[in-house]
Amino acid sequence: MKIAEKHDRHVIPRGAGSGLAGGAIPLGAPIVIAMTKMNNILEVDINNRIAWVEPGVINLELSDYLKPFGFHYAPDPSSQQICTLGGNVANNSGGPHCLADGVTDTHVLALEVVLPNGDITTFGGLDAEPAGLDLRGAFIGSEGTLGITTKIAVRLTANPDDVQTLLISFPSMRKAAETVSAIIADGIVPAAMEAMDQKTIEVIEKHIPSGYPTDAGAVLLVEVEGLPDGVEIEALRIGEIAENHGASDIKIAQTSYQRDALWKGRKSAFGASTYLAPNYYLHDTVVPRSELADVLDKVNALAEENNLTIMNVFHAGDGNLHPLLVFDASEEGILERVHEVAAEIIKISLEAGGVLSGEHGIGIEKQEFMQQLFSDEDLEHQNKLRSSFDPQCRINPGKILPSGHSCADIQTLNKIPEGTWV
């Protein structure tokens, strides 16, 4: 970072590159700092339930490492087999099991950070109430625009005493969505609550047979965990609520193999979409749970009007939608149509009281829509925060904030120094 500052060069930190909003794409000719070889689990303190790790540690590998100790790392993105913890911090990533436990921000206690001028500092701390401003909270989710994470102190979560995984079938996605709201309204917050429509179920079963009913209009995959008696009571109550909302079938995984198969299928859904078409555009918006059914109806109608195939698979419990537009990029004019529909999905979500992103971030994908969610004054204050960390706007420039509100200008990024290898 000091060398980059000396030569006035832009810098972009990059982990596994599994992000879906373009946050790790180099713009112009920056120095790309690959973080993937900083992949050591440095220290595990079971007594205090804390681990220090480097940013290149793969999400799932940390939980696998912790399994013999009876612990795991709670945030579990669908890409957890390849995504890195540094990238999870950058995007404040979530996952199916973040409904009850919270997303990355809840599970990161402290960060060692290299600032744009090369200084090394620590945000947060292991104390219950670290002194000073919560710069840890400001840094998490900043998508690599404030500095580079080099060490992360994560909170460890004890494995539950008991788990029950329910697969609930419905004749329609509307029935499933209404059930989601009813479960939460009843005071039950499951560990996870995922929804999939019929197209998604069909391609999952072709790709990796997991036990999903291909004749169902939609399914909910609901998981409850805790002490055995409490888990049984909650599972029974969820079943009752589902039946009252038109569920056609309710099954409970009887073995760990059945449970693992159901989750393997859910987390393979995006890759399985290639059974319908070779390309896909995966969206990421959040809407209030009470609006789920109406928003999904509008999104499906929009896709049908534009002759596009759509798969719906999403984190139903917190209203985080992931409509998947599947298409063949070789078809003339299809990309323009996909982007037009994607923009309209954002509009529908915002009109329902939603937000631009639940976990994928803004990157370059949603920059142009930031002004639909935030006022000019909001954006100016966001830019002031960024500039306070990086006055020259050299780290991951051209991301998140739209033109006119960002300290970085795309035209500046495109000025490639003479003699640069590209």
Q: What is the pLDDT of residues 44-84, one digit of tens each?
A: 999 999 999 999 999 999 999 999 999 999 999 989 999 99
Question: What pLDDT, on a 0 to 100 scale, did the predictor assign at position 62?
Answer: 98
Contact in structure between 350 and 282 (CB atoms under 8 Å): no
Q: Across residues 260-265, what is the average pLDDT?
A: 96
Nearest CA among 321, 290, 323 for reference residue 184: 290
What percentage of the chain carries pLDDT values higher than 70?
96
Report the run of H or E that residue 3 belongs to, with start and end.
helix 2-6
Return d(Cα 322, Cα 306) in angstroms, integer. Answer: 18
CB within 8 A of 360, min separation 6: which ones?
19, 20, 21, 91, 282, 284
Give domain 162-270's CATH number out of 3.30.70.3450, 1.25.40.10, 3.30.360.10, 3.40.50.620: 3.30.70.3450
Question: What pLDDT, on a 0 to 100 scale, did the predictor assign at position 345?
Answer: 97
**Other residues' Cβ atoms within 10 Å of the Cβ of residue 20:** 19
How high does pLDDT run on average in the chain? 94
pLDDT greater than 50 at residue 410 = no
Contact in structure between 6 and 346 (CB atoms under 8 Å): no
pLDDT greater than 80 at residue 108 = yes
Percent of the chain that is helix, strand, coil (3-state, to 5): 35, 20, 40
Topology of domain 2-158, per CATH?
3.30.465
Q: Across residues 5-19, what is the average pLDDT?
A: 95
Q: Across residues 339-367, what is the average pLDDT?
A: 96
Nearest CA among 1, 3, 8 for reference residue 412: 8
What is the DSSP track for 47-99?
TTTEEEE-TTSBHHHHHHHHGGGTEE-----TTTTT-BHHHHHHHT---TTHH
Is the fold of 162-270 the same as that of 276-351? yes
Task: Tell me the pLDDT band of 408, cut-offs 50, 70 and 90.
Answer: low
Nearest CA among 257, 292, 291, 319 for reference residue 94: 319
Higher pLDDT, 421 or 17: 17
pTM (2 d.p.): 0.92
Topology of domain 276-351, per CATH?
Alpha-Beta Plaits (3.30.70)
Supply angle C-alpha 410, 411, 415, rounded to 5: 115
Q: Across residues 152-163, what is the average pLDDT?
A: 97
Q: Across residues 104-121, what is the average pLDDT?
A: 97
Domain ranges of the chain: 2-158, 162-270, 276-351
Return d(Cα 146, Cα 6) in angstroms, integer. Answer: 18
pLDDT per position as a tens digit, 272-282 = 999 999 999 99
